[in-house]
């Protein structure tokens, strides 16, 4: 647990990351969300095409 304690004095992971690391993580989350939404839209299009 002490390894996680950084110069920030915090144990919260996001407070111990560099701004670049936080940005990369946010972009990865956004990318996952967009892929999921895209898959849902593709499935909806297939369903609508069958009608």
**Given this model, what pLDDT does residue 13 score?**
79
Cβ neighbours around 30 below 10 Å, total: 10
**Given this model, what pLDDT does residue 12 score?**
77
Burial string for 3-19 (b: 16+ CB within 10 Å, else e) reads: eeeeeeeeeeeeebeee
**Given this model, what pLDDT does residue 15 score?**
81
Extents of the domains making up the chain: 2-50
Q: What 8-state DSSP symbol labels residue 19?
A: H
What's the predicted TM-score (pTM) here? 0.67
pLDDT tens-digit map of 1-51: 455 555 667 777 768 899 999 999 999 999 999 999 999 999 999 999 998
């Amino acid at each position: 647990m002490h390894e996680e304690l950084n110069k920030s004095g915090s144990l919260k992971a996001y407070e111990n990351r560099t701004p670049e690391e936080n940005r990369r993580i946010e972009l990865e989350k956004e990318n996952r969300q967009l892929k999921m939404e895209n898959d849902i839209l593709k499935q909806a299009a297939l369903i609508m095409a069958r009608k």
